Amino acid sequence: MIFDSLNIAASSLQTQQKSINVVSHNIANANTAGYSRQVADIATLTPESVGGLSLGRGVNVTGISRIVDPMINSALSNNGSQMNYWTTQNTGLNSVANVFGSLQNTGLASALDNFFLSWQQLANNPQDSAQQFNVRTKGETLITNLGSMSQQLSAAQSSADGQIDSQIQQANKLIDTIAALSTQIRKQENALSSSAGTANDLRDQRDQAVRSLANLLPVQQISDNNGGLLLQTASGDLLTQDGVARHLARGTAIGGGFAGLVIAQTGQAVNIGQSGSIGGLIDLRDNKLGGYMSQINSLAANLAFSVNQIHASAASATTDTTMTAGQPSNVALALNDPAQSAAFANQIVSGSFKIHVYNATGTATPAGGTAINITAGTTTMADVITSLNAVTGISASMDAGSRLNITAATGSSFALSNDTSNTLAAYEVNSYFTGSSAATLNLSTSIQASPAAIHTGRVDPLTSTISSSDNSAAIAIMQLQNQAVSFDGSLSSSLHNRTTAVSTQYGNDVATSLQQRQYRTAEADSLNAQRQAISGVNTDEELVSMIKFQRAYEASAKIITTTNQMMDSLLGLIR
């Protein structure tokens, strides 16, 4: 029985020592990211029956448990995906604040208002060359504003795209780490006895890597009973299983846009969705910044065509001797053929426009001008040239850039009017603007050369006369500011409202991203506090546990000392 006491005390010494080792490990890793508190699983040894009595045999450490709550860990991963998504959105949107910050005061809205105001001022004094110069200057300012916005938004899109590449590399490193850890966990746990617990530290490292990966993209995980982990994206794309990693890569860019994400090994497209910082960057690049770009491009397109529709049929008392289209055309195709490069060729309908030819004294022949008929789907630019060349006093041809050129004979001049087919506006003949997007918008070459090319009036369709005081075209352009228009497939809206809409959309997006960022940050703080309460190391509590195990260790040592004294006494009796 004395030897039993020694064995029991010895088992206690070993148990208390192992428990102190676990406590020491906890304290050592109190500040290690992702570490989960561990506890020694202590159990009594199976008792033995002696003389009808069940006598204890001591104590043993059966395993070392890792204190975790899988639900909280899962919630932290989901929160990390959402928080990083909205943080990325908010940061990215704030990076283009200067594009929208002065939109209502000194930016685009002001430039648009001043542009239409200059037309009003010109309408009040249609013969004033200074007002013509002012209209050109205000047009240049508006073009500069739109071009600057387009350039900055495009640069922000490229920046976001570059960050996606960097974060894909980070994600692939984490996927490799998770796959390698899964292999190590399976190997280590297979080497342990079935009741000895799990590879706690390796599992902590893997969980931490999974949470880091979830910050980049949303993931789903399924654990097996052998330490393995199946990890896939939220849309079900496999990333790692049985220690095998599959990487993310960039796909092929389509239509001049940005490349999407694919699984490198298979080329299968990956849908990240609205979660994780990569998802945030993709949404920022394509939907937020891309959306603003679409809105300002739509504004530029509708501005250009609506103004050109009026200006193409406008004239001034000083008539023209030459005009060149701003857009090229394929003479063999119908004017409105989809293969034509002119952005607004699809706006051409069956109708006509008139050309009025004047001699040196200003007399028009014929008096009411000549109609050039257009049949949508049939009439080509070659047909238009033929019709124009049939008019006395002018000649028409294609220049080296495949653009229509109309030139008056010596001593003659001409004017255009009443285009019901949209041909002149579509091909930018006698236009104010050229281009169809914020990046390409510019003044026509004739207006760049001279503000005198800005026309304010219209030709009388019956007599071909043009009054020097006629301001009807200038007034019509001025009134465009608040007229609902749509020439690009967008919802019909005024140019003023289009400007307001993009600034309002940006403001709403910033407010939403900030609100969600703050909410997800508060949620993360709460979840981390819960995890800390369950899995975190409280050094004060660990020191209390250490003292407890130390006292038990000292008591066990005392038992061994006492038992040893008893054995000495017994041996003394035998001697």
Q: Are 218 and 234 in contact (CB under 8 A)?
A: yes
Domain ranges of the chain: 2-67+548-574, 69-307+475-535
How far apart are the two ends of the chain, measured CA to CA in Å?
Answer: 20
Q: What SS3 class is residue 491?
A: coil
Listed in sequence order, the residues at least 6 apart from 239 whose beta carbon sits closer than 8 Å to its beta carbon are 175, 219, 231, 232, 233, 245, 246
Beta-bridge mates of residue 184: none
Q: Are 342 and 305 in contact (CB under 8 A)?
A: no
φ/ψ region of 204 (left if φ > 0, alpha if ψ in -120 to 50, else beta) reads alpha
d(CA 190, CA 227): 9
Joined together, the tokens standing for residue 519 give 């909410």
Joined together, the tokens standing for residue 45 give 């040894």
d(CA 457, CA 443): 19
- Give the residue among 46, 285, 22 at the shortest CA–CA distance from 154: 285
Secondary element (H or E) of residue 557:
helix 539-574
Beta-bridge mates of residue 40: 64
Q: Please list the pLDDT of the chain residue by residue as tens digits (575 residues).
A: 566 778 888 889 999 999 999 999 999 999 999 999 999 999 998 888 777 777 778 899 999 999 999 999 999 999 999 999 999 999 999 999 988 865 455 588 899 999 999 999 999 999 899 999 999 999 999 999 999 999 999 999 999 999 999 999 999 999 999 999 999 999 988 887 655 668 999 999 999 999 999 999 999 999 887 888 999 998 889 999 988 999 999 988 766 678 888 999 888 889 888 999 999 999 999 999 999 999 999 999 999 999 999 999 999 988 999 999 999 999 999 999 999 999 999 999 999 999 999 999 999 999 999 999 999 999 999 999 999 999 999 999 999 999 999 999 999 999 999 999 999 999 999 999 999 999 999 999 999 999 999 999 999 989 999 998 999 999 999 999 999 998 888 888 999 999 989 989 999 999 999 999 999 999 999 999 999 999 999 999 999 999 999 999 999 899 888 877 777 777 777 76
d(CA 145, CA 242): 56
Q: Are strands 219-223 and 38-44 parallel, antiparallel or unpaired?
A: unpaired
Q: Tell me which DSSP letter residue 492 carries.
A: P
d(CA 422, CA 429): 10
Cβ-count burial 192-211 (b if 16+ within 10 Å, e if not):
eeeeebbbbbbbbbbbbbbb
Q: Are 464 and 363 in contact (CB under 8 A)?
A: no
Residue type, 254: I
- Give the residue among 366, 368, 400, 398 at the shortest CA–CA distance from 383: 398
Q: Tell me which DSSP letter residue 289 carries.
A: I
Q: Specify the pLDDT at position 255.
A: 62
Q: Are 502 and 292 in contact (CB under 8 A)?
A: yes
Burial class of residue 401, CB neighbours in 10 A (0-12, 13-18, 19+): exposed
d(CA 302, CA 276): 37
Cα-to-chain-centroid distance, residue 560: 71
d(CA 216, CA 209): 11
Locate the DSSP E strands across 128-247. 219-223, 229-233, 238-241, 244-245
Q: Specify the pLDDT at position 1.
A: 57
Listed in sequence order, the residues at least 6 apart from 272 whose beta carbon sits closer than 8 Å to its beta carbon are 217, 218, 233, 234, 235, 261, 278, 279, 282
- Tell if the pTM clears 0.85, that is, is over it: yes
Evaluate the CA torsion angle 316, 318, 321, 323 in order and state its sign: negative
Residue with tokens 């939220």: 234
Beta-bridge mates of residue 320: 414
d(CA 210, CA 81): 11
Beta-bridge mates of residue 233: 219
d(CA 13, CA 136): 95
d(CA 11, CA 255): 74
Residue type, 18: K
Cis peptide before 338 (omega within 30 of 0): no
Q: Are strands 404-408 and 413-417 parallel, antiparallel or unpaired?
A: unpaired
Secondary element (H or E) of residue 112:
helix 108-124
d(CA 151, CA 135): 24
Listed in sequence order, the residues at least 6 apart from 240 whose beta carbon sits closer than 8 Å to its beta carbon are 175, 178, 179, 182, 229, 230, 231, 246
Cα-to-chain-centroid distance, residue 530: 33
Residue type, 342: A
